[in-house]
A and B are shown apart, each in its own frame.
Chain A
Amino acid sequence: MSTSDSYDYDVLVIGAGGAGLRAAIEAAAMGVSVGLICKSLLGKAHTVMAEGGIAASLSNVDERDNWKVHFADTMRGGQYINNWRMAELHAKEAPDRVRELEAWGALFDRTKDGRILQRNFGGHKYPRLAHVGDRTGLEMIRTLQDHGIHQGISVHMECTIITLLKNGSQIAGAFGYEREKGQFKLYRAKSVIIATGGIGRAFKITSNSWEYTGDGHSLAYHAGAELIDMEFVQFHPTGMVWPPSVRGILVTEGVRGEGGILLNKENKRFMFDEIPELYRNQTADNIEEGWKYTQGERSARRPPELLTRDHVARCIVKEIKEGRGSPHNGVFLDISWIKDKLPNAAEHIKKKLPSMYHQFKKLADIDITRQPMEVGPTTHYMMGGIRVDADTQMSIIPGLFAAGEAAAGLHGANRLGGNSLSDLLVFGKRAGEFAAKYAKENSQALPVNEDDISTFSKWALNPFERTEGENPYQLQYDLQEMMQDLVGIVRTENELTKAIDEIKKIWARADKIKVVGNREYNNGWHTALDLKNLLTVSEAIAKAAVLRKESRGAHFREDYPQKDEKNGKFNFVIYKGDDGDMKVKSEPVPAIRPDLLQIIEEMK
């Protein structure tokens, strides 16, 4: 490769959302050279879409909150197959990471005494989410971006990594292309951090943008890293369902946090009939108590709408399946009812949920201060990902780190709302710190294998060579449709087995796709390259899901509808076999430290 197309860094960060930016900032602060790869423009990553807030036990609103409660809530939400050490670090360090954002210019909504305000969210015992109306993600990414651009980080916008490069067992860099001219780029690095986010585009109905094709999961897997918990895909209970073109766009849980209720077509608050045993003690059994909880009354218990996302999503599916759904196959989410409770309800809603107001007004002609919204589940978040060491975030490949949604462990079988933004900050920082440390300890960059580069550039250009072949958009669409139907919210053995077959067929078709036009800013070419990643993660999800013969958290099996104690003691680990095929093994959930177990027991 010519020198103009190659770069040398101590630490290369792939992905520039919350985790990638936080990692890059930390690595730069350690005095190493840092390259940051953005799939889109800087500041456009999906973090920008996060609405509700950042979970951290600042205890500004309720002094009973502390890291132990946050830890116990996270483990309960994850149905106890989380990596307990990650959950501990996360709960302990999140408050400092939030305060740090304030020192970098973030302006969170305030309490009456001038501190950071916190709001209620599903599965969190106390009001815990630091927020800015319903645009917390924008505030977070902009703060990190505006701080990060002054830290000497080299930013490569609109670049996509095609493969990681190794030297023997160790990481040596990455190879990719920049979109504007379509030219290949080589990045040599002593350590690499994957912070590429999720996999939502594997499904038809999703809140995720085009970028979320499981790139990091796939890059790490093909380089020899392990993936865990891939069967756990979070379907957010409330996405827009109408009109068709906005289907899947997120409606923040903040709506329910502010008092929004779920109703079926009979105008019944069906969630009151759906309170699971594990949460019965913590859940309100009447309308008045639920309302009081959302208004901060400390003796009140949370309304059932604020049960965990996996559960609420399934209850909504049940209402729809049993014929009690709304006209466009959703249910109703109503915040306008609070006008019975508050004198200035319309203004209050606009102040607390400005972008929801805007989104429904503009895209669906619905005024949420006067009318209910129609909502249904949407593919939202990937609990599964690259298996990392809890403290350092390093994968089993020396020098390869991962953070944020692309890494796994913290959330177990189901993530609590608000725990994603705090995850990005806590483990983004840790990944940056330990990747920089690793780079310093390994002062020699390892040479990359030139053969790998020629193999992958040839592979990437193949679709241009074909005169005949399928359209990459069509293939992506077929995969999404199949995954939605067969590997969605409610799963069965038959459908999952069928999905694995279908994925095999689509893999074969993907080898024959055709791309038209030239290499410059070619969205079609990009879609073609993304297919490998989408297929890799789809296969991993289906293969792990077929083996988990129980229902736990986000993974629901109609043929095994109960939780199973034996299954609950294992995580499924995905790895590439020596024959190149995808393999799954089960490994015991790491034994929890006794003091942490005691915390869980005390808070049950």
Chain B
Amino acid sequence: MPVATFHIWRGGITEGKNETYSTEISEGMVVLDAVHQIQAVHANDLAVRWNCKAGKCGSCSAEINGLPKLMCMTRLSDLAIDKPILIQPMKAFPVIKDLVTDVSWNFAVKKKIKKFKPRPPDAIDGTWRMVQNDIDRVQEFRKCIECFLCQDVCHVLREHKLHDQFIGPRFLVYVAALEMHPLDIEDRLQDLKNEEGIGYCNITKCCTTVCPEDIIITDNAIIPLKERVADRYYDPIKKLLSIFRTGKVKTKG
């Protein structure tokens, strides 16, 4: 069987280096299989996060030859195995050990976003009516497996480290799913503009490129949210009209 060489990051946040391992590869293998083989034989204590191994849980995110990917969905046959394959942890988050990063920031961010708030039920039995067409877009956003690869590639987080001012593409998708949910009546536009920092996104679409679920993050989620924020806060005519109005500006729908 052919043998492939891997350079895998071993170590913590400050100290560490890329270690070289070689392992036999067989038909259909993905990068995670190779990492597991190396772990089982050469490096029992190699730290790697994984669960489903089928692209559904979003645990095994890493950078393979510099590109953010799920290790379980990256086939070796799609990589040049005549050269060493470089596997490194995500760079937008602190390394805990080896390929495992501290992604707790993401969980803290989500908790701060205003939760789902449905309108009163449509029917007396406490249920709602929704048309499939109206939920297709939100279902696209709800495919998200929270692998955080979009957060990893986003330059606002990766290069500029603005974790305290910008929630990143994953949570803009999350807000979009809530804002476009046909039942939801909460208002999140002020938060988006202020503490969630939607203005930092300058639509480079890197997040869309790396999404393993093929969610069109920028076009379908972020841009419509930006438009809603702009309509509310930056539209001069609306601004003028709102002076004569009382109550909240209607933005839903």
Contact = CB atoms under 8 A, between A and B. Distances in A.
A49 B127 contact: no
A501 interface: no
A359 interface: yes
B52 to A, nearest CB: 5
Contact of B30 (A42, A245, A472): A245
Contact of B111 (A45, A149, A354, A355): A149
B84 to A, nearest CB: 20
Interface in B100-136: 100, 102-104, 107, 110-111, 115-116, 118, 121, 126-132, 135
A103 B125 CA distance: 12
Contacts of B50: 209-210
B128 to A, nearest CB: 7
Interface stretch (A104-112, A380-388, A417-425): A104-112
B26 A523 contact: no
A597 interface: no
A362 B55 contact: yes
A49 B96 contact: no
A58 to B, nearest CB: 9
A518 B11 CA distance: 12
A132 interface: yes
Contact of A110 (B118, B135, B142): B135
Contact of B126 (A46, A99, A363, A524): A99
B73 interface: yes
A358 B145 CA distance: 14
Interface string A494-533: 0000000000000000000001111011111101000000
B39 interface: yes
A211 interface: yes
B57 A49 contact: yes
Nearest to A180: B96
Interface stretch (B41-49, B192-200, B238-246): B41-49
A371 interface: no
Contacts of A97: none
B82 interface: no
B187 interface: no
B45 A516 contact: yes
A49 B59 CA distance: 13
Given A44-B59, A105-B118, A107-B142, A250 B54 contact: yes
Contacts of A282: none
Nearest to B54: A249
B138 A107 contact: yes
A48 B44 contact: no
A96 to B, nearest CB: 9
Contacts of A329: none
A140 to B, nearest CB: 11
A67 to B, nearest CB: 15
A45 to B, nearest CB: 8
A363 B53 CA distance: 11
A43 B146 contact: yes
Contact of B55 (A45, A244, A359, A521): A359
A515 B138 contact: no
A244 to B, nearest CB: 6
A110 B132 contact: yes
B116 A147 contact: yes
Interface string B20-54: 00000011111001000001110011111111111
A358 B55 contact: yes
A430 interface: no
A566 interface: no
A465 B94 CA distance: 30
B44 A524 contact: yes
Place the interface of chain B in its size category.
35 or more
B44 A521 contact: no
Contact of A146 (B30, B110, B127, B183): B110
Nearest to A116: B127
Contacts of B138: 107
B68 interface: no
B214 to A, nearest CB: 8
A397 to B, nearest CB: 30
A376 B69 CA distance: 29
Contacts of B29: 243, 245
A243 B27 contact: yes
Contacts of A518: 45
Given A43-B146, A114-B131, A150-B111, A107 B139 contact: yes
The 7 closest A-B pairs by CB, nearest first: A243-B28, A517-B45, A524-B44, A114-B129, A105-B116, A473-B40, A521-B47
Given A46-B52, A114-B129, 7 more contacts: A102-B127, A105-B118, A107-B142, A244-B27, A364-B28, A517-B45, A521-B96
Interface of B: 26-30, 33, 39-41, 44-59, 73, 75, 96-98, 100, 102-104, 107, 110-111, 115-116, 118, 121, 126-132, 135, 138-139, 142-143, 145-146, 178, 181, 183-184
26 contacts: A48-B52, A49-B56, A102-B127, A102-B128, A103-B126, A107-B135, A110-B135, A114-B128, A114-B131, A135-B56, A149-B110, A155-B107, A157-B107, A209-B51, A209-B52, A246-B54, A359-B54, A362-B73, A363-B30, A363-B54, A473-B40, A516-B45, A517-B44, A517-B45, A522-B44, A523-B46
